[in-house]
Structure 1
Amino acid sequence: MTRLPLALAPLQDEAWPSYLTRQAAQHGTTLAGMGSHLGLRDARGRWPGRFGVTMAETEAARVAPMLSLAPKQVQRMQLAAYHQLAFDLGGLAHNSAIGGTRATVHAAWVWLAGTTFCPLCLVEDDGVWRLMWRIPWITTCIRHEVGFHGTCHACGGVPGLGNRFHGSAPPRVAAAPDGRRCTGPTPVGHVCGADLSAQPTVQASPERLMRAKRMADLVAGQRGVVSGTERTSLQALRGWQSAIGIAVRLGVVDSDGWGRTHRWANPPRDPDLIDRLLQAVEPLVTAPDRTTGADVLDGWLRDADIRSPHVNTFDRITQTSAALQPVINELLGRHGRAHTVIQRRLTSADGAPFGERDWGVDDIPQLVWPCALPEHLRHSTKPDQRILRAVVSMILARMFTDACDWVAAGRALGFPADKSRNWTRYAFAAKWGIKTDLLDASHALGQKLPKRPRRVSFHRRSQVSGFGSRALADAQSPRCRDQGGSAWCPCYPQPTAP
């Protein structure tokens, strides 16, 4: 193959089909003729699979000299230039072409064919199409501050999407090469030919522009923040994707019928709808911390009348996201039966055991220190603060011993079986609304117990008998240091790291 007589430099972020179209126009031929001259089409006129998506290094090295380009310049015009930044194309390495495509589109939001566009950019750049327009997260032209278009207003087709099989090969390659014109097919077999650069545009709101800039930064590889934690660009975008799946399933946003199935593998083609989805989940993803993010997610669940969420509530909605999982874990830690919540809190987000375990039941008094309770419960009479302290002790026994139920936890502390069941059921009753407070108090005390400067054994248990809180009159009940109690209590100053 010979070098083309007229050199043409690609514009920044120009897509491969756009560049070949401009080359064809410059040399007075069709896109089909240009593809044949470059050896991109076989004898039957078929284009290579995943045209404009990926290109083998050997192929780029062969084609580049004919275009007076370096192989890296050719590779930068392929969609794979955003691999591991905006999406993961690793599935395309699958042995089966169909299997590889399915593996890819099920991994993240990505269009292997079709694109959005900005009419004003087409005017100013004389029909150049940007590679970033092929990324679903980009909904707005920051340069002109207008929303993108997803279809041709004349024929309703998606530019670059030639058939119902979503193939990436360019359609209607025998038409006159003009980047401004729609090459979508008409019912009678002709080319639409509508001037895409003449389509009307709508000014984007400041909020939409802000979202567009955030997405553009992520797509370019900048690190993002999801609910207060910094993530890689790909992890952050997966967080947005997972949040959208949850929001659509819970009815947080009107998706115009999109997303009833396969929310993780089928990004909508309408840029306005995608921006609406981004706007809906923005409070969750941009929350300052995972606790605030869990508050947002909790509100979504309440509005959807889901009172007892569990793991499958989210796993069946959309793909999991490492960036969003800490928020989901925080939310799940607020719901469910007490023993279920305890088990969730015993492991970190990565599944590792939580906290130190070098202490046992003899380190737990029958009633924990008064200052171990939250301030508003230390003088509670309904439920009685002594019962609450006994419940916190049993929670610790379940957290850090082999006790498998409340009876076993109570037995380890010297409580009768009926009182262990009744006190925990009473304290966790929904009418009090203090279950989370007691679990949080136990969690905090469990972190402090291993750090005591000196240990006191509580293995000599008192006899517990009688009814109500009176049964705890003689129970082990260490006092706070400030009240002349033992040498240590939970409000004892924690040792600082050297």
Structure 2
Amino acid sequence: MAEEEPVRRLGVVPAPFPGEAFVSWVDTVAASLRVSRAAALRTLGLPGSASFSTHQFHLNPEQLEGLRRRTGLRPAQVERMLFGFYAPTVLPQLAEDNGRVGQGARVSQPWLRRDHSAACPLCVEASGGRWLLGWRLKWTFLCADHLVYLVDRCPRCGLRLYWRLEATGAGQRTRCVRPAARNGRGARRLGATVCGFPVAEMPALPVGDEEAVHVQRRVQALLIPADVSHNETSRRLLQQLVLIIRDVTHRKTLAGLLDRMESTVIDAVHETQGQPWQPPLAWTLERGTPAAVSALVRIAARSVLWDTPGAGPPG
């Protein structure tokens, strides 16, 4: 019987940034090794393509042990970078009956930016190109540290940021690497000139409303798992928010819904409106910028998280 090939420990392994997404960390490893994302995955002992259709959600115990032996990262450090981290709170569909994250977990969830990411350009610049896991949840719409709404599209080409299907994964840590030419397939498209707009220079709308910051901090506290009691309360409150938002997206008028919100947020909501006969908020969650999505969360929070400044208890 052939002996198992020994696992080689990598010489230099970038430490995960606090709250970093796994795809961002792998791309950081790729940048440090000067290889592609796919090559970095193979070096880390992870099979599959560079699209990250699998590795965003869950790694099995064997893969976690392989990463530990190659990088020194503890399983808990790796699991903190995966979508499965949110299974106890906002993504319970990822959990099996025993509370563990299913190995084949997949989820189509309207509040999940599965294929792309939003970002705070100032955070990306300060961290040297690290992208946070929380930015892949639409519940995260602003940066409370820099008081700006997140951006999720490149201002030059208009395409989504940090697209998971891009083979040049490491490059999009700091620049938009979407093809500048949208037509063509295969090698023709892959060979197209990339956009190249620096993420750090992408304009972000400033937050001038205390309510928006307060709601974001309250929601963020609900997203982060803790003890059983906290997780149960978080799931209940988040589900209440979802139900209210589902209701308001079917209303035929905006009357009273956007009261006391900034003009930039109101403008962002109007930009997502569909046909005249459709409810004005029908497309906000799917098509809206983080600033527009913030309006949905704030509308619901005024009923569920009623201690928000400027919003009294539900009457």
Please state which band the TM-score falls in when normalised by the shorter chain: 0.7 to 0.9
Q: Aligned-pair distance for 1:193? A: 2.1
Cα distance in structure 2, aligned partners of 1:159 and 1:85: 26
For the 8 Å contact 1:139–1:271, the answer to whether it is kept is: yes
Identical-pair percentage: 21
Q: Structure 1 residues 277 and 47, CA, compared in 2 at 3 Å: closer, same or farther?
A: closer
Spell out structure 1 runs of 4+ moving beyond 6 A.
91-95
Q: Establish whether residue 6 from structure 1 lines up as the match of residue 8 from structure 2.
A: no
Q: Measure the CA separation in 2 of the matches of 1:249 and 1:239.
A: 16
SS of equivalent residue, structure 1 residue 214: helix
Q: Distance in 2 between matches of 1:109 and 1:244?
A: 11
Q: How big is each residue's C-alpha offset from its partner over 1:334-386, in whole Å with a ceiling of 9 and x where there is no partner?
A: xxxxxxxxxxxxxxxxxxxxxxxxxxxxxxxxxxxxxxxxxxxxxxxxxxxxx
Match of 1:130 in 2: 132
1:402-429, Cα deviation, whole Å (9 max, x unpaired):
xxxxxxxxxxxxxxxxxxxxxxxxxxxx
Contact 1:85 1:220 in 2 (8 A): yes
1:284 aligns with 2:296: no
Paired residues in the alignment total: 269
**1:176: how far off?**
5.7
Distance 2:138 2:151 in 1: 12
Return the index of the structure with the highest Cα Rg.
1
Q: 1:486: which partner in 2?
A: none
Q: CA offsets, 1:215-242, max 9 Å, x none?
A: 111112479xxxxxx9611111111111
Map 1:375-390 → 2, pairs under 5 A: none
Are residues 1:272 and 2:266 paired? no
Equivalent residue for 2:198?
A: 195
* Alpha-carbon separation, structure 2, partners of 1:84 and 1:67: 27
User: Closer, same or farther in 2 for the Cα pair 1:60/1:222, shift >3 Å?
Assistant: closer
> Is this contact kept in 2: 1:2–1:66, CA < 8 A?
yes
Q: Which residue of 1 aligns with 2:262?
A: none
CA apart distance, 1:40: 2.4
Q: Does 1:36 align with 2:45?
A: no
Could you say which residue in structure 2 is the equivalent of 1:240?
241
- CA displacement, residues 24-46 of structure 1 (integer Å, 9 cap, x when unaligned): 1112222232123223245xx56
The 3 A distance-change label for structure 1 pair 202 and 174 is: closer
Which of 182, 187, 209 is 2:176 aligned to? Answer: 182
Higher relative contact order (CA closer than 8 Å, sequence separation 6+): 2
Determine if the alignment matches structure 1 residue 172 to structure 2 residue 185. no
State which of 152, 165, 169 in structure 1 corresponds to 2:154: 152
Q: Is the contact made by 1:171 and 1:183 (CA closer than 8 Å) also made in structure 2?
A: no
The one-letter amino acid of 1:72's match is: A
The structural deviation recorded for 1:117 is 0.3
Gaps of 5+ in 1: 162-169, 224-229, 296-498
The answer to whether the 8 Å contact 1:172/1:185 transfers is no
Partner amino acid, structure 1, of 2:214 = M
SS of 1:61's equivalent in the other structure is helix
Q: Is the 8 A contact 1:172 1:184 kept in 2?
A: yes
User: Normalising to structure 1: TM-score of the pair?
Assistant: 0.48
For residues 19-69 of structure 1, give each alpha carbon's deviation from its aligned partner in whole angstroms, at most 9, with x where no partner exists.
111111112222232123223245xx5656433222222211112321221
Q: Which runs of 5+ in 2 are unaligned?
A: 1-6, 184-188, 258-268, 308-312
For 2:153 and 2:51, locate their aligned partners in 1 and report how far apart those are by CA, in whole Å. Answer: 24
Contact preservation (8 Å) 1:24, 1:177: no
Could you say what the CA RMSD is over the residues aligned between the two structures, in angstroms?
3.3
Change over 3 Å in CA distance of 1:235–1:246 after alignment to 2: same
Asked whether the equivalents of residues 88 and 95 of structure 2 are also in contact (C-alpha less than 8 Å), the reply is: no
**Following the alignment from structure 2 to structure 1, what is the Cα–Cα distance between the partners of residues 76 and 63?**
11
SS in 2 for 1:243: helix
Q: 1: CA distance between counterparts of 2:299 and 2:85? A: 29
**DSSP-derived class of the 1:177 partner:** helix
The answer to whether the Cα contact below 8 Å between 2:84 and 2:94 also exists between their aligned partners in 1 is no
Q: Normalised by the size of structure 2, how large is the TM-score?
A: 0.74
**Deviations, residues 87-138 of structure 1 (Å, cap 9, x unaligned):** 223379889x7xx64xx436x7333322110000011100000111111111
- Output the CA distance in 1 between the equivalents of 2:102 and 2:225: 25
Deviation at 1:174, TM superposition (A): 3.9
CA distance in 1, matches of 2:302, 2:53: 40
Q: CA deviation at 1:10?
A: 0.7
